[in-house]
């Protein structure tokens, strides 16, 4: 029987790939805050009175560029924590090494494509494809985890 120590270990290539892609995605998600801040300063769109220079200025909530980056960030929050959680459980099912590593890789690249297509190039179907890759992989891994119980 394989022990948890053997699985959750950076010498295990599957766990290594998981840690790598999860960290890339967490850093990518954190970068969305910087991107939002950049758009706020560029467009002078601030959500709180105390962020404004004078009391005559008013908070704004409808700048299209700020809202676009915020939607991309929200979409990350809907998908990346789910991927990280389910992928961890998936590793515990002892998946085939090559398959698991490629799933993590494709999901990670998918989320990067989603961000670039949504927040920078504003293109479809690249955004939808990027989203679908990580979403479908997370669902697949979720079913694999549930199947391990039967």
Which residues make up the interface to ligand GSH (CB under 6 A)? Answer: 71, 75, 78, 118, 127-128, 131
- Smallest distance, ligand GSH to C-beta of residue 130, A: 8
150 CB contacts (<8 Å, ≥6 apart)?
none
- Smallest distance, ligand GSH to C-beta of residue 29, A: 14
28 sits in which H/E element: helix 13-43
**Residue 61: both structure tokens together:** 């909530």
Q: Which is nearer to ligand GSH, 94 or 124 (CB)?
A: 124
63 sits in which H/E element: none
- Smallest distance, ligand GSH to C-beta of residue 57, A: 28
Q: Which is nearer to ligand GSH, 19 or 67 (CB)?
A: 67
How many whole angstroms separate alpha carbon 65 and alpha carbon 99? 38
């Amino acid at each position: 029987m394989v022990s948890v120590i053997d699985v959750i270990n950076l010498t295990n290539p599957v766990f290594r790939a998981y840690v790598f892609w999860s960290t890339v995605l967490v850093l990518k998600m954190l970068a969305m805050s910087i991107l939002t801040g950049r758009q706020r300063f560029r467009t002078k769109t601030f959500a709180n009175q105390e962020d404004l220079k004078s009391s005559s200025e008013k908070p704004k909530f409808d700048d299209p560029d700020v809202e676009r980056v915020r939607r991309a960030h929200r979409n990350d929050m809907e998908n990346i924590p789910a991927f990280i959680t389910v992928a961890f459980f998936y590793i515990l099912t002892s998946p085939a090494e090559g398959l698991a590593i490629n799933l993590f890789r494709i999901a990670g690249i998918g989320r990067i494509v989603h961000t670039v297509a949504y927040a920078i190039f504003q293109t479809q179907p690249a955004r939808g494809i990027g989203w679908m890759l990580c979403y479908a992989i997370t669902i697949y891994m979720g079913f694999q985890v549930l199947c391990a119980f039967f």
